[in-house]
Amino acid sequence: MVQSAALLRADVRDAFADRLASHDMGKGWLRFRDPAKIDYDLLRDLSRATAFGDGAVIC
């Protein structure tokens, strides 16, 4: 089962590029193929950065 999270801000994706590099990342989706390996700290940080800032939506 694949777990996915939408990542709709290009500026946030760019700011977290180093932390996203080891993950399966599409244009607007961050995918975790193994639920046991979900990086909840990364998801929290991405959510906070998305919520607190102005940036263009990529989708």
Two tokens, residue 51: 């919520």
pLDDT digits (tens, 9 = 90+) for 19-56: 999 999 888 899 998 889 899 999 999 999 988 877 66
Which residue, 57, 54, 49, 40, is CA-closest to 17? 49
Dihedral over alpha carbons 51, 53, 58, 59 (to 10 degrees):
40
Confidence at residue 59, expressed as pLDDT on a 0 to 100 scale: 57
Spacing of C-alpha 29 from chain mean position: 7
**Model's pTM, two decimal places?**
0.81
Spacing of C-alpha 28 from chain mean position: 8
Nearest 5°: the CA angle 12, 16, 18 is: 155
